[in-house]
Amino acid sequence: MMTHSPSAPVTAYNWQTPPHNRWAFWNVREILPVQRIHRAPAASVLESADTLPGLSTITLSDVDGQLTTVAAVLGATDTDAFAVSREGAVLSEWYRPGGSADRPHAVMSITKSMVGWVAGALRERGELDADRLITAYVPELSASGYAGARVRDVADMRSGIQFNEEYVNPDSEIRKLGDWLGWYPDSPAENAPGLYRFVANLTADSPHGGPFVYRSCESDVLGWVCERAGGRPMAELLSEHLWSVIGAEHDADLLCDRLGTALHNGGASVTARDLLRFGSALLPSPQAPSWLRAAWAVDADHRAAFAASTAEAAMPGGWYRDQFWFRPGPQGDVLLGLGIYGQLLYVNRRSRTVCAKFSSWPVPQDPVRLQNTLRACDAVSVVLECSAATGTSAARPVRSPRSLF
């Protein structure tokens, strides 16, 4: 347990910036308003196994072509926690001092994937139709740029909304969003009308259903639609349709604006083990819901939409669907949940490997750190696949929470 905060005050203004974020990401509920996502009545069991060697022994080539190890990559990417599971067993787990297995950590835009799961669950129940217009669920958006957009357009981030996602640009929409949430103590209430008023004021600059463009506002609109279709706030929907389903062991937190509206695009804080549980539920299986099986099976339309985007350079051959990233890797396709400052959920369907990484990067986005982290997860996955194929077990046991490196 963390027993003290940093010497300098951590506030709504600086909680995401270094060095404050290293403490703040483990303690979001002490800084900002949150709602609780209640854990499952009975947690699913995560066993421990000894099929993964020490991460300092697993090698890979980084983006510069240099030979390195998984442990070295984790050390160089401001890792707060790292955990690996396969077939319901935790194979490796480590927490930076100040964090622990029972403390939730901010996962930023992995929240989008959690909302995507809720949308999928509502579709399976017949409560949400991906081909209906957004305004059929949220008529308040009829005068906005979202008029004429379908639910699937926002689920796949293919609306025509004008939205700049540049985190370091003070004039971008993603930066302006913070002014509408009412978190800042010196912001008068009339100047912070809330998240939903913000998205209702967005305009479109291209037709809906076009190329993939990563826009956080799409997740906020999708969350609003889910709340209307499901008849309850997002925290309650997540508790019923996700946290209870995966057997989450701990309550999670969900940031909200001053009016109590959930921040669907990046407000969740969860534990590493519960993130592993989420990842395991995303693996394809005969029992998987139809929407998830469809998301894993890329089609020409989604592939073309991604190929026409700037994201293609970072994930060639990939696609984005239902609030999840899909990336071809050395072992086939991998599902990803990604969040700024280095949050990662990695799901490899061939090796059945799930990796969860919490981080406190000094910058919101860093392509080199991300690519090296993905290569490290690929290397772990290859080792586990080889181990499963040969039926062998590594000589070393699971690392203790303080001896991973």
Domains of the chain with CATH codes: 33-390 (3.40.710.10)
What pLDDT score was predicted for residue 395? 32
Q: Give the pLDDT score at 53.
A: 78
Distance CA 134, CA 371 (A): 35
Among 47-56, 144-153, 258-267, 393-402, name the one with the lowest average pLDDT: 393-402
Give me the residues paired with residue 145 across strands: none
- Residue in 109, 144, 280, 381 annotated catalytic: 109
* pLDDT tier, 182 (very low <50, low <70, confident <90, very high otherwise): confident
Q: pLDDT band at 50, cuts 50/70/90? A: low
Model pLDDT for residues 261-294, shown as the tens digit of each residue: 999 999 999 999 999 999 999 999 989 999 999 9
Reference 144, options 153, 152, 134; nearest CA is 134
- Give catalytic status of residue 109 as yes or no: yes
Residue 1 has pLDDT above 90, yes or no: no
Please give the single-letter amino acid code of residue 87. E
pLDDT (tens digit, 9 = 90+) per residue, 54-96?
Answer: 899 999 999 999 999 999 999 999 999 999 999 889 999 999 9
pTM value? 0.94
Q: How many angstroms separate the Cα of 344 from the Cα of each of 14, 174, 359, 386, 393?
A: 22, 20, 8, 23, 27
pLDDT at 398: 35
Position 335 pLDDT exceeds 60:
yes
Most confident range, picked from 10-14, 190-194, 290-294: 290-294
